[in-house]
């Protein structure tokens, strides 16, 4: 019979694997949604990152974010191309902003965190593409990109806020916190047989 700690670690790994798969699927499928502007996506996978981050799972949300960026770039065939660099830089910047805002002593709403990180995500995209193309003309695209990005960011923040109010989510989180094993601990100890 497995020990309690092995069961806890298995549950943690299973939850993280599920969330990673969900992030990858959402992010990959968004690429097939029709948009009238290049590079514009809903960013639904960011809701999972924000969700984990505001719950205090900093390392885990960062691991899932980076893994998602790399895996989706491989699936789309954009690894080490302009879209990959834009995605990676934007993801790291918006994550850093979310991390800073979620760690403030003064409570910042999830919608506000999402909006501010969405702004920096779009700004980073523009800076990266301007650097890669050696042209500031791409910033003419920024106001429209920002408008669409902030709309998607608002919806992402609202989704996270709504989910955190749901009773079944609260019950699950209370159970998960009791049996949670951090990812960095899992990496150091193998699962018991």
Q: Which domains does the chain possess? A: 4-182 (1.10.1760.20)
CA dihedral 134, 138, 142, 143 (to 10 degrees): 140
CA trace torsion 96, 102, 152, 31 (10° rounding) = 50
pLDDT in tens, the chain (193 residues): 345 577 777 777 887 888 888 888 888 888 777 776 766 777 788 888 888 887 777 888 898 899 888 988 888 888 888 888 888 998 999 999 988 887 766 777 888 889 999 999 989 988 988 888 888 888 888 888 888 889 888 988 888 888 877 776 667 666 655 555 444 444 444 444 4
Residue 75's CB is within 10 A of a number of other CB atoms, namely 13
Whole-model pTM?
Answer: 0.76
Distance CA 182, CA 63 (A): 12
Cβ neighbors of 159 (< 8 A, separation 6 or more) are 47
């Amino acid at each position: 019979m497995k020990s309690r700690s092995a069961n806890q670690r298995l549950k943690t790994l299973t939850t993280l694997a599920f969330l990673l798969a969900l992030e990858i699927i959402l992010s990959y499928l968004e690429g097939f949604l029709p948009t009238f502007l290049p590079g514009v996506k809903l960013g639904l996978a960011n809701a999972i990152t924000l969700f984990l981050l505001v719950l205090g799972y900093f390392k885990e949300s960062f691991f899932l974010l980076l893994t998602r960026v790399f895996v989706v770039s491989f699936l789309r065939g954009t690894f080490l191309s302009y879209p990959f660099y834009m995605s990676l830089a934007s993801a790291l910047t918006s994550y850093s902003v979310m991390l800073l805002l979620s760690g403030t002593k003064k409570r910042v709403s999830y919608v506000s965190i999402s909006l501010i990180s969405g702004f920096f995500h779009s700004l980073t995209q523009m800076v990266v593409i301007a650097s890669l193309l050696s042209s500031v003309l791409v910033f003419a695209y920024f106001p429209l990109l920002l408008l669409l990005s902030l709309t998607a960011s608002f919806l992402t923040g609202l989704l996270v806020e709504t989910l955190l109010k749901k009773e079944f989510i609260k019950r699950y989180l209370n159970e998960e916190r009791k049996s949670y094993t951090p990812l960095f601990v899992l990496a150091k100890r193998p699962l018991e047989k």
